[in-house]
Structure 1
């Protein structure tokens, strides 16, 4: 379904990603881990279509990923992407409106009634039917993320992109969100890519784990090389020693990066 062929991403002289070559089948749940700034979110944005690659290919069903977001790819960020002046129900309906042709995203008549019915059904799916008349400011963090997921799923995407969606949530709420995402992944037969800073979360949620890290380093030119996928592991078939090894590698990379910026 998704294939990257020798993908590189640069911003000016700074190399963010290099030599990424992977294939992903439909229905996989891929978690992406790595230190801050290693290109995980950049890769997600290239899948979404809001970032372009510098070199190589990124293919969806054998064709280049479209250069703009589309209804086949839904995304949820850590920062809640909701409209504060709209109710929960109106926020979800807006997601359907903006997916239609035209600039305003407004819905009328039968289209509005259908969008309302679909939005209410989706709110029930994510456990927010009781909060449909509330505004985002009246919601807890977990409820806002449920709302963002409802927005992303209303268009029935094939691919769900999650960019550290649970990083700001308390552990108990995160556990509830884990169960929700796993249920929706199975129920809607989604292909999921999820960025997380939590290695244990990555192992728990995904069917496949990618570790982004730099394999080439130059202390005199730290931006000359980018991150690659240094581990590509089927979750559930990894022993504890491999998990500890990955954790050590990421900790070492983070310390080296911190030391570099302290010296400059």
Structure 2
């Protein structure tokens, strides 16, 4: 498959569901060709691709474990072969396990570190090598770092590392005209968010911000779209997208 030089190509990891799906669809609606990287759920990835194509966009799905250097390198290889290059990389893939520090299963902690920290590092490493001048690298963080909610220590710690990686990479790419930022959503209405929460908890979290509602995946996608396109003077930042809750 070929594209013209004017077209921009985006890789979105974790792009088959939730916030990642909204980001994939928004970038496609902006006119970017989107390569959706998914870990296991080919059905959901294909649904997202089909939805984008039905709406007039261009997308493909590629299976890739973001913590596997060879798999991520192959993901970029496929993108470059099919579309000629990479302009945008959005690292939305990640996992979350919740429990108090005193009771946290350390095997689960290792899994979070492997996916959220190593995975971000591996994807960003390939992006730093391959994203074309004028491009953008965007990592998905979380607002829970500042909220300091009980049971979120492992997840928040992993996303703190994402912020650090983003800031340092932005400085390391000096002179290449590539921006690197992190986007930190607040509570967002996805299947992952609703899982294991009762109505009272959901209502409480929704009202923590002055707008008094949960974020929609499209709210997060809007900011990613801005950073991926016109926002060339925002670099090395973590942008909190949470309705003003912190």
Classify the TM-score, shorter chain.
0.3 to 0.5
TM-score, scaled to structure 1: 0.31
More helix by share: 2
More strand by share: 1
Kindly name which structure, 1 or 2, has the bigger radius of gyration based on alpha carbons: 1
* Relative contact order higher in (CA < 8 Å, ≥ 6 apart): 1
TM-score, scaled to structure 2: 0.33
